[in-house]
């Protein structure tokens, strides 16, 4: 759920979408604030290390333990996929973060041995305007983007550094997406990993197919990591849908979130070579036992059943183009008893 409520600074330059502003766009944009607040809370409690989220989020509100543990699984699941991709490419690659929100992966990667050729972030101009504004005001963030030789170019909604590009765009407008990627000096022949956290679900099915087909046609070797809702056709899923609809989010792409099969087929039907999908129960189990035990000691979990239901209704999908990255996988522990014990369910 990554695209902030309107505010911050006005979006102007860089927003040339020919698409009409959809009625639910503002509600979708607001989901970024929710996701960022949740990540900030979990980081403050010690679930994972992120020295940068605090620049973008000031909120100190404490979230429920189930939410914190859910976001831990989400962040770690995506990170595991990125780590495997970076090891396979030795950094000779690009990262493109779709619906990036206030995600801080670029800044966190800069503190590691991992370096990439190009890091591109795309989101609604209203979102990128706020992210640009925050980066511009904080030297600690700017210092990560430019080196001695490189300059940083800024407009109200776009930021360009030597190897980092943040741009406002409507992902439903492929001409605009293409134009922005050209501005970011994208290399279509370079291995590329696309990241999307609760983004595609808000895009109308045909527009989403067009986007995925376009990527499959333009890029030679790519991986797509998608974190999103799943099993939306049961009772718990219906409650989730009603809650989001009550906030003005229509979930235009929910037909791909009915099962792990529909999640995989979304990519296979759009020209991708293959796809794997796991629910978050499986993803959580793939995290090392020591790391799970560490975070499970941070907070008592009163409602183990609720966490299990949440994990069963979110998933991680990895799709690939070509054969170079078809072995990016998450090792799962399928033993139900072990699952239940690690989720603190008696």
Using the predicted structure, report yes or no on whether residue 202 has a pLDDT greater than 90. Answer: yes
Tell me, what's the pLDDT at 23?
63
Q: Is residue 17 part of a domain?
A: no
> What is this structure's pTM?
0.89
Q: Does 244 belong to an annotated binding site?
A: no
Which pLDDT value is given to residue 13? 34
Does the residue 344 lie in any domain?
A: no
Q: What confidence category does residue 149 fall into, taking pLDDT thresholds of 50, 70 and 90?
A: low
On whether 170 is known to bind a ligand per the annotation, the reply is yes
Helices vs. strands in the chain: H and E counts, helices first: 14, 9
Reply yes or no on whether the pLDDT at 56 is more than 80.
Answer: yes
- pLDDT above 80: residue 1: no
pLDDT band at 148 (very low <50, low <70, confident <90, very high): low
DSSP sequence for 222-286: EEEEEEEE--TTSHHHHHHHHHHHHTT---TTGGGGSSHHHHHHHHHTTT-SEEEEEEHHHHHHH
Tens of pLDDT, residues 309-340: 999 999 999 999 999 999 998 864 443 334 44
Handedness of CA 211, 104, 25, 125 (dihedral sign): negative
Write the pLDDT tens digit of every residue in 11-36: 333 333 334 556 678 878 888 888 99
Q: How confident is the model at residue 151 (pLDDT cuts 50, 70, 90)?
A: confident
> What pLDDT is stored for residue 4 in this prediction?
32
Average pLDDT over residues 62-73: 95
Sign of CA dihedral 173, 3, 56, 82: negative
Structure confidence by residue, pLDDT tens digits, 109-121: 999 988 899 999 9
Per-residue pLDDT, 28: 83
Using the predicted structure, report yes or no on whether residue 345 has a pLDDT greater than 60. no
Average pLDDT, integer, range 80-89: 95
Domain that holds residue 179: 23-321
Grouping H, G, I as helix, E, B as strand and the rest as coil, residue 101 is coil
* pLDDT at residue 180 is higher than 50: yes
Portion of the chain with pLDDT greater than 90, in percent: 75
* Residue 234: inside a domain: yes
Contacts of residue 266, defined as CB under 8 A and 6 or more positions apart, other chains included, come to 200, 208, 209, 212, 256, 275
What total number of domains does the chain contain? 1
**Strand 153-154 to strand 159-160: parallel, antiparallel, or no bridges (unpaired)?**
antiparallel
- Is the confidence at residue 182, as pLDDT, over 60? yes
Do the beta carbons of residue 280 and residue 71 sit within 8 Å?
no
* Residue 282 pLDDT exceeds 70: yes
Res 7 pLDDT > 50: no
Phi, psi (5° rounding) for residue 276?
Answer: -120, 155
Q: In the chain, what percentage of residues exceed pLDDT 70?
A: 88
pLDDT tens-digit series, residues 161-172: 999 999 999 999
At residue 5, the pLDDT reads 30
pLDDT of residue 302: 80
CATH number of 194's domain: 3.40.50.150
> Is 99 marked within a binding site?
yes
* 333 located within any domain: no
Q: 252-281: string of b/e by CB count within 10 Å (b at 16+)?
A: bbbebbbbbebbbebbeebebbebbbbbbb
Average pLDDT estimate for 89-104: 96
Cα-flanking dihedrals φ and ψ of residue 270, to 5°?
-115, 20
Computed over every residue of the chain, the mean pLDDT equals 88
Asked whether residue 194 carries a pLDDT value surpassing 70, the answer given is yes
Other Cβ atoms within 10 Å of 47 Cβ, number: 22
In a domain, 346, yes or no: no
321 labeled part of a ligand binding site: no
306 is in an annotated binding site: no
pLDDT tens column, 237-257:
999 989 888 888 878 999 999
Q: Is residue 55 part of a domain?
A: yes
């Amino acid at each position: 759920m990554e695209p902030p409520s309107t505010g911050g600074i006005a979006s102007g330059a860089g927003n040339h979408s020919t698409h009409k502003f959809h009625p639910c766009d503002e509600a979708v944009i607001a989901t970024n604030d929710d996701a960022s607040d949740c990540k900030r809370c979990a980081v403050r409690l010690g679930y994972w290390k992120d020295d940068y989220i605090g620049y973008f989020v000031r909120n100190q509100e404490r979230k429920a333990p189930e939410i914190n543990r859910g976001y831990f699984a989400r962040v770690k699941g995506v990170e595991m996929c990125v780590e495997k991709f970076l090891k396979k490419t030795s950094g000779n690659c690009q990262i493109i973060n779709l619906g990036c929100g206030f995600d801080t992966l670029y800044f966190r990667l800069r503190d590691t041995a991992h370096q990439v050729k190009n890091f591109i972030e795309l989101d609604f101009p209203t979102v990128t305007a706020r992210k640009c504004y925050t980066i511009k005001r904080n030297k600690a963030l700017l210092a990560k983007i430019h080196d001695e030789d490189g300059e940083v170019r800024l407009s109200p909604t776009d930021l360009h550094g030597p190897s980092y590009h943040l741009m406002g765009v409507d992902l439903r407008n492929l001409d605009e997406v293409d134009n922005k990627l050209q501005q970011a000096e994208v290399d279509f022949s370079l291995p590329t990993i696309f990241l999307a956290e609760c983004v595609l679900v808000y895009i109308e099915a045909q527009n989403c197919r067009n986007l995925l087909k376009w990527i499959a046609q333009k890029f030679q070797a790519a991986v797509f990591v998608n974190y999103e809702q799943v099993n939306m056709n049961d009772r718990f899923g219906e409650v989730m849908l009603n809650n989001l609809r009550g906030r003005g989010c229509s979930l235009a792409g929910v037909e791909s979130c009915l099962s792990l099969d529909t999640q995989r087929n979304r990519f296979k039907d759009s020209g991708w070579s293959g796809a794997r999908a796991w629910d978050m129960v499986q993803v959580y189990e793939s995290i090392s036992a020591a790391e799970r035990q560490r975070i499970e000691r941070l907070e008592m979990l009163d409602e183990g059943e609720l966490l299990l239901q949440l994990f069963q209704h979110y998933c991680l999908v990895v799709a690939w183009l070509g054969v170079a990255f078809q072995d990016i996988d998450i090792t799962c522990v399928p033993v139900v008893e072990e699952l239940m014990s690690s989720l603190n369910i008696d």
